[in-house]
Amino acid sequence: MSTQARKPTELPLDETLIAEAHELGLDVADAAEAGIARAVKAEKERRWKIENADAIRADNDYVAKHGLPLAKYRIW
């Protein structure tokens, strides 16, 4: 998957799930890494939304009161 340095890691995983992955020809390490990458991305997005909630709310309030900036230049 990634070309970055790898760290050997032991993860306790469900035996049935691993067996199914092998039967399907999946690379378990790549699948685990992809799943962890998705979880990290989702958590970063969740935290960003919390950290920026006030700014997002203020922006939404502005648009609700004043409309979209430069709306008169929209083509649709």
What is the domain extent for residue 26? 15-73
Task: Provide the domain count of the chain.
Answer: 1
Portion of the chain with pLDDT greater than 90, in percent: 78
pLDDT of res. 74? 86
Residue 42 domain-assigned?
Answer: yes
Please report whether residue 5 resides in a domain: no
Mean pLDDT of 28-45: 97
C-alpha dihedral (17, 18, 20, 22), degrees to nearest 10: 160
Q: Does residue 20 have a pLDDT over 90?
A: yes
Assigned domain for 66 exists? yes
Residue 46 structure tokens: 């969740």
Residue 46 lies in a domain: yes
pLDDT at 62 over 60: yes
Provide mean pLDDT across the span 40-63.
Answer: 98
C-alpha–C-alpha distance, residues 38 and 40, integer Å: 5
